[in-house]
Amino acid sequence: RLIVLTNLHNPTQAVLDEERVREIVRIGREAGACVALDEVFLPMLETDFRKHGFSAGAISTNSLGKCWGLDALRVGWSIGPQEIIHRAYRLNNLLGVNQPYMTEDLAWRILNAPAAVKYLLKYRKQAANGRELFDRFLEKTPSVTCMPPAAGICALVQLPAGTDDRIFCERLLSEQDTAVFPGHFFECPGAIRVCFGGPQDEVAEGLKRLSSMVRSLT
């Protein structure tokens, strides 16, 4: 049995603090289940990997995608009980695709580089600037609602009542050349995932186009 959660949550970027993680781990153990946390967004809030889910008794998974922007390397990792990680490693070797040694070596060098945390902090600052733009968008667009994200690079925005999120996203892409993610993929129909972690000028322009499309609904 396995309980799988995301922390930060995707797409709301809500956070599970250590106390809550420990409580979930306790409940899982009583039910005979392990807890696995997908923490790919967590470096936007906590850069010390020792404070991630495995320190609270969960299995912690992460990668060099998302916050690091190194998706092309296709490198990730899991930290947890040795027996479980060893079995997962063997299954991955049997059923998965073995990564080229060069990409794994490059990932190792990046994670051990003194400048690695500085890079994350720089990206967090960029995301914080994008968050300010996003907050202004919400202030100027009262017809949409949003639970404020704890950190991270995206948020779940509820569109005006009765709006089909899939049609809205298709229109936004075809008419405004701007992409957001339909909420129905997250079991949140009528909502969209909006990302604001990119360069400030691109985020500002994207939010401007999104605002224009929302206004066209009313």
What is the pLDDT at residue 49?
A: 65
CB-based contacts of 32, cutoff 8 Å, min separation 6: 1
Selection from 45, 42, 213, 44 nearest residue 137 by Cα: 213
User: Taking the mean position of all CA atoms in its chain, how far away is CA 147?
Assistant: 15
pLDDT over 80 (residue 91):
yes
Question: Looking at residues 115-132, what average pLDDT do you find?
Answer: 90
Q: Where in the chain is the domain with CATH 3.90.1150.10?
A: 121-215
What is the pLDDT at residue 95?
A: 87
CB 75 within 8 A of CB 99: yes
What is the pLDDT at residue 127?
A: 93
**CATH fold of the domain at 121-215:** Aspartate Aminotransferase, domain 1 (3.90.1150)
pLDDT over 90 (residue 181):
yes
Could you report the per-residue pLDDT of 44-86, keeping only the tens digit for each? 887 676 677 888 889 999 999 888 888 888 888 999 989 999 9
Confidence of residue 134 (pLDDT cuts 50, 70, 90): very high
Q: Where in the chain is the domain with CATH 3.40.640.10?
A: 2-113
Report the mean per-residue pLDDT for the chain.
Answer: 91
Could you report the per-residue pLDDT of 139-149, keeping only the tens digit for each? 999 999 999 99
Buried b (16+ CB within 10 A) or exposed e, 122-159: ebbebbebbbebbeebbeebeebebeebbbbbbbbbbb
CB 125 within 8 A of CB 144: no
Question: Looking at residues 24-46, what average pLDDT do you find?
Answer: 92
What is the pLDDT at residue 173?
A: 97
Could you report the per-residue pLDDT of 15-27, keeping only the tens digit for each? 998 899 999 999 9
For residue 165, the one-letter residue type is: D
Q: In which element (H, E) is residue 20 found?
A: helix 18-30
- pTM of the entire structure? 0.86
d(CA 9, CA 150): 9
CATH number of this structure's domain 2-113, picked from the four choices 3.40.640.10, 3.30.43.10, 1.20.1600.10, 3.40.50.10440: 3.40.640.10
Question: Looking at residues 79-99, what average pLDDT do you find?
Answer: 87
